[in-house]
Amino acid sequence: RPEFALEVANGVLTGSWDPPSFLHPLGQTKFGRDVLSRVIYGAYSSLTIALTYHNTSLP
């Protein structure tokens, strides 16, 4: 988001590489992003592609 651009440019990354906690069960990346939400989003994308392929390949 644009409001955080200055902090990133200055090297201020709060919450970078945080270990697992109650709010972030798999921790955070070096940019402060939640790992669990990224895993869920990736799984959702993969399942969507797989199910679409499966449904279109049926006779």
Q: Is residue 6 over pLDDT 80?
A: no
Q: Which domain does 13 fall in, by range?
A: 2-57
Per the structure, the count of domains in the chain is: 1
The residue-averaged pLDDT of 8-16 equals: 57
pLDDT in tens, 34-48: 889 999 999 999 999
pTM of the predicted model, to two decimals? 0.61
Closest C-alpha among 32, 38, 28 to residue 8: 32
